Structure 1
Amino acid sequence: MPHDPTTDLQQRVQVLEAEREAWQHALTLFSEAPAPYLLLNSQGRVQEANAAACTLLGYGAEALRGRPFARFLSPGGQGTFEWLLGQAGGPAPRARAEAQLLHADGTLLDVLLDLAAPAPGSGPGPLRLIVTDITPYKEAHRSLLDTAASQDAQLQAGATRFRAAQQELEGVVTVVVQQLQLPVARAMNYLGLTRRALGEEVPEAVARPLLQSERAVQQIIALLASVDRYLQMRRMRLGLRRVDLERVLREVLKHAQPMMADRHVHITHDPLPTVQGDSQALFVILDEYVANALKYSKGREIARIHLRVRETDTEYHIGVEDNGAGFNMRQKDRLFHLFGRLHPSRSYEGTGVGLVTVRRLCERFGGRVWAEGKPDQGATFWFAWPKPPVLLD
């Protein structure tokens, strides 16, 4: 059967019509796309721009054709666009960057540029550029940064005022303590002289109030000494070095000798580690814990005190265990607070400041404190010492 050229022509026309319709459809999608969309040649000149791109730039499509897109960017954005062109011509067919776009009315807009080259193997074609206006997001981001900077400045100013107020308060308390020490010492001496002047044959009605007055003044003296030691601890200049806790304990036990006089005291300890810390601070901590154990075990025929050591990957746990009066665990949260006594002062002397001093010192090295006990079955007071510690203000 002979070949019919008319049939070939009709098929060719149909193919061309389909291609034209597809092209028209693609042009419609391009023109009506909601995102600003431009087609560029390899030098970055505009070949086509859709309606959204014209609106964003403030120019008509005819005014844009043939012009370098970089001219619509700020000087800094022009360098960014040149980098994008280089990226699109390389092995990565897509590149993205932020820039500033210059609108026809002179307004600068923050934009996100997405530049894509034709897919590998698809042949030559225009570069596709999508321009997204991110001005509202950048303004919101700048506003958040400004707010954060303002809040940070306010916090810094508040912290400065707090430190100044704290230093002023500590100064006032220090002066009050110093000013009270002399008159209180004089009052104690006066009461002693009065008692001696009255002699042995003193009526109960006189002797009892006199004795109570002496005890009250002694408590005031002890309280002043404790507050003074607490203030000294807060001003203590601390450092980090290797500290042998065995050596520190020996010094603590020497200092505790007056409390152990005329008593049966048995003190033992696990092998104590060498830690990173401050020897003066660790002396105060162990001194307070040992003194606390001696005080609350004074009612025992034999006071037994043992220093326990536990070790984790990050900390040493040092505990001072005694067989003394103990305490109810429901009240443990009061122990390390200022004046947080659990026992009446008439039974056990003290001011409720020593354990606060321990807590504060431990916290300055990133440590912590806690206690375990049972009524009339003794207690163990612990502190956790980091390895290595971080010295805090």
Structure 2
Amino acid sequence: MHKPCTEHQTAVNERPRVLFVDDEQSVLNALRRGLRTLLPDWELKFCADPLQAPELVTQFMPWIVVSDERMSGLSGTELLKQVSQLSPATVRIILTGYASAEVAVKAAEASHLLLAKPFDIEALAETLKRAACLHHLPIPDALRIRLSALDAMPVLPHIYQQLSQYLSQDNVELTHVADIVSQDPTILAKLMQVANSPFISHSRPVKTPLEAVVRLGLLLVKNLVLCVGVFRQCEQIPESERAHLLEQALEVASLSGQFSKQCGCSREAVEQSVTLGLLHTIGALLLCLMPEYLDQSETERDRIADSSAGFLLSLWQFDPAFVAAVSYQHHPEYSPSPDPLLCRLHVALMVWRAKQTGTPWDELVSQPLLEAAGIWPTAVEWISTQSSGGDL
């Protein structure tokens, strides 16, 4: 019986360590050759026998384990389940040539990321770099281990991955985007609802998926797909609680977009703020999966939820500014370098909370931070125009 790793070092000067497991030696040789120059300062180990891999984990203590799914003797999913017990803080990645929705659901039981074969070696190296960044997130080790060990950690929804892959191509056709989102009736219904909401500020209702895509824009469509898909995964959380968190996400997204417009932001910056609003409750969703933290104070729950959200968005390779914004949304004054994206989300979230609790907004919003960012007068003016409504 292998003993679990008892420590997880987080020294900044550590060299990232990765263990690759594949029973095809040719694949391991290709990885060794390709990554030698792309990750020259990393410690890389290669294992062709999945049955020996658990012992290597306890000896090597890798930051990341990358395993093929279809191997003789032990599948990648079975191996990574063992890794999750032996070294809970290790990021676990499955490589598979069968990246169907069914495989994704199965792999999600043991892995954090699912990558398709054949893989692009440079893209794989970038994924490893982003996964390694998790090692240095400002998260307590106990919470890091708890998050990594979650059996029900949400994964990127299959339709989101399909949409992202298509949008990365040249000559994107909106009709095809509409066809992709139409595959899922629940997601399509939410897109139509948001496209017809007062926030979008159009008098004529949309009636088709294509009209919804055109009105919302590709970035908002993509992240609505992500938001709805993630919330639907966590079936062990009561539907009423998931619905409440999703509704909060939509409302804060609306407020964040409105405030960004008030700040004179570009269309791109407004879309980023709306997207961030959609994703800001993911940490609260993860908190529901860790009931041992629910009896903490509200401040501590917010801190844990924010750190959890940052962990998940970093794992999904979101831009560092997005990761920082969700990680400090309730207390941006603790951020090492608060940027305008974080400040705008903080204002929208605190205005939403003031409406929900009846607490005066100026007791919730960080005035010194907004003054330093130069948006305090704009925030005061905008908040003064807010009514008790504001729903999407």
Task: Report the TM-score, using the length of structure 2 for normalisation.
Answer: 0.25
Q: Which has the larger radius of gyration?
A: 1
Which of the pair has the greater relative contact order for Cα pairs under 8 Å at 6+ separation? 2
